[in-house]
Amino acid sequence: MHHIQLGAIDYVILIVYFAFVLGIGWTLRRFVKSGEDFFLSGRAIPAWVAGLAFMSANLGAQEVIGMGASGAKYGMMTSHFYWLGAIPAMVFVGIFMMPFYYGSRARSVPEYLKLRFDEKTRGFNAITFAVMTVFSSGISMYALAKLLELVLGWNFNVSILTSAAIVLVYIFLGGLTSAIYNEVLQFFLIVLGFLPLVLLGLKDVGGWAGLTAKLQTVATQAGFAPGAWSHSWRYVGNAHANPMGVEWFGLVMGLGFVLSFGYWCTDFLVVQRAMAANSMSAARRTPLLAAIPKMLFPFLVIVPGMIAIALHVTRGGLLPLGADGTPNYNLAVPVMLGHYLPTGLLGLGLTALMASFMSGMAGNVTAFNTVWTYDIYQSYIRPGQSDTHYLRMGQAATIFGILFSVAAAYVTTRFNNIMDMLQLVFAFVNAPLFATFLLGMFWRRTTGHGAFFGLLIGTGVAALHNGLVLPLGDVPGIKGGFLGTVLHTYPSEMAQNFWTAIFAWTACFAATIVISLLTKRNKSDEDLKGLVYALTPRLKDRESPWYKQPATLGVIVLGLTVVLNVIFW
């Protein structure tokens, strides 16, 4: 394809950004004196900073590129990832789960599992999480480098190594604080870098009304009802009536409940930001404050994809075609940047893209180095060393974590839509995990054996389900059907992933209950104080002003989300 030409001014903007992220790492390096400083920011982060970092750490490749791609591919239904998935889960983690995470003083999610259940459950979670994290970070890096190569003609290897080196330096120097501060900076850069694109795009297509009119052509050409690209709920009655290929039950249970709660409530990458907050109240408000910008993000990341497909179909050939003749959806956002932004703002938009990749990657790297150091190295390899020893190990883990990610980036070359791949990985590991946490936090009878074998069974069922089904039009292989026989064919990969998650969660939930009832409790009520709902004193937040009360914030956030769902029904 034709490369977008950059001017000197665009490079100046990019370099200013690089200088600032490195500068933040450099300035913060003298505050890193202990393990707690490096891994937990000394638990001194104010709620709004932790909140923006909480949201930004998740703003990696899957968000900006993947959501733009999904916006083009599935239209307004992509908003379910936010208004059905993320927001309710974020409210839940803030109000109901944070008291146990923060209150237990656990330093990581696996460590909570050790306190609540036992060593093997922690070990299983720590190892799967470490592997998954390295992979996510590799996918981000791959996506970034591939895009820059395609859109700008930059060298794939140079892009990967440069972005990896910058993230490495600022985390190595300043630890989690540096990652969090940069995530806040990156958050503003992403918003201010992409907003002009949305505004110009909407102005060009004639506002929201003009966009929906053009999307009718897109929908009818693809063989759907005219409104299929501009409504989120109207066509989910039947899986074949909407571009995502899912029906309401799979959507609500698979995405809205299992996958979203599994991700936002148990993934240490995001939970770590809240654990770094400076008080229990701040930790609980972290996901709630993050939910407010989060609910507006569809307008920033999904709408550009929708505009791109509208222009592609009605004005012809905006998006380059892939080998199979379908548009390359992953290019929706970068192509739009080149289409609307002149030299100058183009540099800003590109820098925003870079910032999103870096924030996602830094999130993965800080989560990895903490889990590696505390939950693997300190637990199984070298226990009982000094704090300085573990601090040094954390810094070393930052380096080899990034090296592993770079390796993973080179492995990641087989998927057209990165989102689907990530959903697949999350379905195997995260979906059963949420059942374990739910039972662990709200049912004191849940035992260590129940949790561990429940998790194994859940993950096994995820793999089994995936091995026996296939998305429509795919051949058996990594995408499914690898067990030889295909028992069921889903209308889309997305639907398959949602159902894998539902099966995995249900299997883990049921197996954990049955095994817990058959095994002896390994923790007494005394041990479980502060770890289980019924055994933890209620938090009093009546005294604080209303805007600082988690429950009040949660109700407001949920109310606004309902309104958004209704408007774009």
Partner 1 sequence: MKLDVRLPIGMMFTLLGAILVVYGLVSDRSIYARSLGINVNLWWGLVLLAFGLVMLAFALRGGRRGDAGAP
Tokens of 312: 């592609």
Q: What is the DSSP string of 425-443?
A: HHHHHHHHHHHHHHHHHH-
Measured distance CA(99)–CA(205) in Å, rounded: 47
* Closer by beta carbon to partner 1, 201 or else 256: 201
* Closer by beta carbon to partner 1, 236 or else 276: 276
- As measured in angstroms, the least distance from the Cβ of 343 to partner 1 is 6
- Which residues in this chain contact partner 1 in the complex, by CB under 8 A? 9, 12-13, 16-17, 20, 23-24, 27-28, 31, 44, 49, 177, 181, 184-185, 188, 192, 196, 200, 203-204, 339-345, 348
Tokens of 155: 């060298």
* Closer by beta carbon to partner 1, 174 or else 491: 174
**CA 423, chain centre distance (Å):** 10
How many angstroms separate the Cα of 566 from the Cα of each of 306, 326, 561? 19, 32, 9
Measured distance CA(186)–CA(352) in Å, rounded: 7
Q: Which long-range contacts (CB under 8 A, 24 or more apart) does 521-528 make?
A: 521/445, 521/447, 522/117, 522/118, 522/447, 522/448, 522/449, 523/116, 523/117, 523/448, 525/444, 528/116, 528/444
Is residue 504 within 8 A of residue 461, CB to CB? The reply is yes
* Closer by beta carbon to partner 1, 32 or else 160: 32
- As measured in angstroms, the least distance from the Cβ of 44 to partner 1 is 8
Residue given tokens 């009982």 in the structure block: 384
DSSP-derived letter for residue 321 is: B
Number of Cβ within a 10 Å radius of residue 342: 10
Measured distance CA(269)–CA(183) in Å, rounded: 13
- As measured in angstroms, the least distance from the Cβ of 171 to partner 1 is 16
* Closer by beta carbon to partner 1, 45 or else 367: 45
* Closer by beta carbon to partner 1, 181 or else 235: 181
* Closer by beta carbon to partner 1, 326 or else 343: 343
- As measured in angstroms, the least distance from the Cβ of 338 to partner 1 is 8
- As measured in angstroms, the least distance from the Cβ of 159 to partner 1 is 22
